[in-house]
Homo-oligomer: A and B are copies of this chain.
Amino acid sequence: MSWRLLDDVDKAILYALQQDARNATTREIGDQVGVTASTVSNRIAELKDDGIITNYLATLDYSRAGFPMHVLIHCDVPVHDREAIAHRTLDIPGVVNVRELMSGTDNIRIEAVGETRDDITGIVSALSEEGVQTTDEILIQNQHFRPLSSLEPEGED
């Protein structure tokens, strides 16, 4: 696993991008920590290259978007196949998030979305055909994200 020590500029960048990855401008971020927009731009590119920033994504309220079936599926797969299977499940239509867990059982958790119950049934079938045993299926009521507090700037400039 590669490393990299984060300074205040990096932290401010990551915090801002966790808050609003689309509208946080390089200048705004730079002003908070006293560097120019160019520096912020360079750093963001570095952080992406270093694999610290993995993605920028919009989070949706799937119900409001017309997909009221939003579920969490527990899966049980052999440990040595876990990573490969996790990647394959990502390609099943309706799957939006996969977590690999360091657990003896229920070691993959899949977040999936559909318009109808049949859509979810189809996803579970697809999992079954991939040799993935599903052990539980739970409706997700709501989901919230927060930036990592350790990255929050103290109050500079």
Interface positions of A (Cβ within 8 A of B): 1-6, 14, 17-23, 50-67, 72, 82-83, 86-87, 90-91, 93-103, 109, 113, 115, 138-150
Contact of A140 with B102 in the complex, beta carbons under 8 Å = yes
Contact of B22 with A51 in the complex, beta carbons under 8 Å = no
How many copies of the chain does the oligomer comprise?
2
Distance between Cα atoms of A6 and B67 in the complex (Å): 11
Specify which chain B residues have a CB less than 8 angstroms from the CB of A138 in the assembled complex.
Answer: 101-103
Chain A interface main SS type:
mixed
Tell me the smallest distance from the CB of A65 to a CB of chain B, in Å. Answer: 5
| Given A66-B5, A100-B140, A56:B148 Cβ within 8 A | no
Ranked nearest first, the 4 interchain pairs of A and B with the lowest CB-CB distance are A17-B58, A102-B139, A22-B56, A93-B149
Specify which chain B residues have a CB less than 8 angstroms from the CB of A97 in the assembled complex.
Answer: 143-146
Contact of A52 with B61 in the complex, beta carbons under 8 Å = yes
